[in-house]
């Protein structure tokens, strides 16, 4: 029997439930939906149903949800309401600027013409651009300040596969080169720099990166420049990215960089788990950022916290700090749910992650660094994580040796300290933890408490593998390695989690409205 096929069939009801549009339509409920779907699948598994019965269940699921959408009254496309950090005084539809949503006509010029026109209202209450139902093929376009881009739930932005529609820009100064190749990089599909007050949102409208062509070029070594991302905002402040579905990105999906006051909410990200570098959300040298209520299936890290690469990141010197991550559901069989690094040379500090559900992922929390990185990862707080089928629950590595070039300083050693993990449950885990510091530069201040890990039937004989680390543990099953000194069961609250809120938690959204106006 083909066991891969059998595994797929046995998991099929869970995937249908989790990925069905009606299940994930309300992105703010992704965390609860995932728990429901996983519980549903677990119930089926306990009953040991045959593949045939499970297939019948799938048909029933689809049949019972098929008519829901059709029963809803068609909304008025000339007026609707939504929540955002800022509301706008002026409105327009992409169709008013020659946009054609047939899936084959290029709308790059229409998007840029609309945004250029609406930019005149920056100082007059701002403006919003509505993307109506349809398939809107487009290359890259640039946003403007005091601006909202809103996608209707039946709107799909299709990323052009013509390289001529993707201008090439300079590499990020904190990286010194592109991630895929030396030199420049293709600009992102939705791009903005030096902006203030920008909202990219919708009623769960879709942005399709059509990444297969880019993935194949990358694998074959045919790229002259680094692949584009779907959304990148640089050197900006007061940014909201929310209530969208992003699929098949050529590379990273959401990349706020050198920015502050960034809110990412209710985002669904889907990519084949074998697709290269399709990271979900990568806050990079950003301050005061919140990521919450997101569902991510990825070929790479679901959340990757970054701050520059080797000597370039050290010289740029802009850390990522004051980052909140909560209510995240992630599936990433070959990478991490939350990764810190490996490009962390500008530093990472004060990261708070809680209420995370990880399913079928390589590792829960991973710290990646190396000799030559410099920088620091410190004051990391993670609690309330549930992990289902993992290779490692915890992973730290000091030998992640990918370098920008040979100009890095071999004496630039990273500082990893005050790492706190508590209140976690994991099941079907191959190995509890692999914690590898750097000889002569140990990772210190590690605290793991109130963590229960159930190992898989074919787990590693050594559940904990620790070298060049130091810290404490309490209430950990199976018992942590000796380098994390056991404090006894009475100290399960040893690992702290800051109770004071960060400024980003004080940002309020308001009810905004769109009313079509012919400009």
Number of structural domains the chain divides into: 1
Q: What integer pLDDT is reported at residue 16 of this predicted model?
A: 43
Residue 55 belongs to some domain of the structure: no
Is 300 one of the catalytic residues? yes
The rounded mean pLDDT for the chain is 88
Residue 422's pLDDT band (cuts 50, 70, 90):
very high
Residue 413 belongs to some domain of the structure: yes
CATH of the domain at 355: 2.160.20.10
Residue 74 belongs to some domain of the structure: no
Residue 490's pLDDT band (cuts 50, 70, 90):
confident
Res. 31: pLDDT tops 50: no
The Cα-based distances of 327 to 102, 289, 383 in angstroms read 36, 15, 11
Residue 61 belongs to some domain of the structure: no
| 138: nearest Cα among 101, 106, 186 | 106
Residue 392 belongs to some domain of the structure: yes
Res. 22: pLDDT tops 80: no
Average of pLDDT values for 343-356?
Answer: 98
pLDDT tens digits, residue range 466-489? 999 999 999 999 999 999 999 998
Residue 65 belongs to some domain of the structure: no
Predicted TM-score (pTM) of this structure? 0.86
Q: Where are the beta strands (DSSP E) in 369-493?
A: 376-397, 415-436, 443-455, 464-467, 469-477, 484-486
- What's the CA gap between 8 and 513, in Å, rounded? 44
Average of pLDDT values for 167-178?
Answer: 98
Q: What integer pLDDT is reported at residue 8 of this predicted model?
A: 43
The more confidently predicted of residues 199 and 73 is 199
User: What's the start-to-end Cα distance of the chain, in Å?
Assistant: 64
Residue 145 CB-half CA count within 13 A: 12
Domain extent, residue 208, equals 79-515
Residue 10 belongs to some domain of the structure: no
Average of pLDDT values for 7-18?
Answer: 43
Residue 13 belongs to some domain of the structure: no
| 448: nearest Cα among 515, 368, 364, 390 | 364
Catalytic entry in 180, 279, 300, 468: 300
Average of pLDDT values for 79-92?
Answer: 96
As a three-state string, the secondary structure of 56-77 is HHHHHHHHHHHCHHHHCCCCCC
């Amino acid at each position: 029997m083909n066991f891969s096929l059998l595994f797929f069939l046995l998991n099929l009801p869970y995937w249908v439930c989790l990925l069905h549009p009606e299940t994930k339509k309300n992105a703010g409920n992704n965390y609860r939906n995932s728990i429901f779907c996983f519980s549903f699948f677990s119930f089926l598994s306990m009953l040991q149903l045959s593949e045939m019965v499970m297939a019948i269940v799938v048909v029933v699921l689809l049949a019972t949800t098929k008519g829901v959408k059709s029963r809803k009254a068609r909304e008025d496309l000339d007026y609707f309401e939504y929540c955002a950090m800022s509301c706008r005084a002026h409105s327009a539809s992409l169709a008013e600027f020659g946009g054609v949503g047939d899936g084959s006509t290029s709308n790059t010029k229409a998007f840029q013409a609309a945004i250029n026109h609406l930019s005149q209202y920056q100082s007059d209450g701002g403006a919003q651009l509505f993307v109506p139902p349809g398939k809107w093929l487009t290359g890259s376009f640039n946003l403007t300040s005091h601006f909202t881009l809103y996608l209707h739930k039946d709107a799909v932005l299709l990323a052009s596969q013509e390289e001529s529609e993707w201008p090439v820009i300079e590499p990020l100064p904190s990286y010194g080169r592109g991630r895929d190749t030396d030199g420049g990089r293709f600009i992102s599909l939705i791009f903005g720099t030096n902006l203030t007050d920008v909202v990219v949102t919708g009623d769960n409208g879709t942005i399709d990166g059509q990444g297969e062509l880019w993935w194949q070029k990358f694998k074959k070594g045919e790229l002259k420049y680094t692949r584009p991302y779907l959304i990148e905002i640089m050197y900006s402040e007061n940014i909201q990215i929310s209530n969208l579905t992003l699929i098949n990105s050529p590379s990273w999906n959401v990349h706020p960089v050198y920015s502050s006051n960034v809110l990412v909410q209710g985002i669904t990200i889907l990519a084949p788990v074998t697709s290269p570098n399709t990271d979900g959300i990568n806050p990079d040298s950003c301050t005061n950022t919140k990521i919450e209520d997101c569902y991510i299936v990825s070929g790479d890290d679901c959340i990757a916290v970054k701050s520059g690469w080797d000597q370039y990141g050290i010289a740029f010197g802009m850390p990522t700090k004051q980052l909140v991550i909560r209510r995240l559901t992630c599936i990433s069989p070959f990478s991490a749910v939350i990764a810190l690094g490996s490009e962390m040379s500008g530093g990472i500090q004060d990261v708070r992650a809680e209420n995370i559900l990880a399913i079928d992922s390589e590792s829960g929390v991973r710290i990646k660094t190396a000799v030559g990185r410099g920088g620091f990862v410190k004051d990391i707080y993670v609690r309330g994580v549930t992990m289902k089928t993992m290779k490692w629950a915890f992973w730290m590595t000091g030998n992640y040796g990918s370098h920008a070039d040979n100009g890095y300083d071999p004496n630039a050693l990273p500082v990893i300290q005050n790492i706190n993990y508590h209140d976690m449950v994991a099941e079907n885990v191959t190995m509890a933890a692999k914690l590898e510091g750097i000889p002569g530069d140990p990772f210190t201040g590690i605290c793991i408490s109130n963590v229960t890990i159930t190992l898989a039937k074919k787990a590693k004989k050594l559940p904990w593998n620790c070298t060049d680390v130091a810290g404490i543990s309490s209430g950990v099953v199976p018992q942590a390695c000796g380098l994390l000194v056991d404090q006894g069961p009475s100290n399960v609250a040893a690992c702290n989690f800051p109770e004071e809120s960060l400024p980003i938690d004080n940002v309020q959204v308001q009810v905004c409205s769109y009313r079509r106006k012919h400009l």
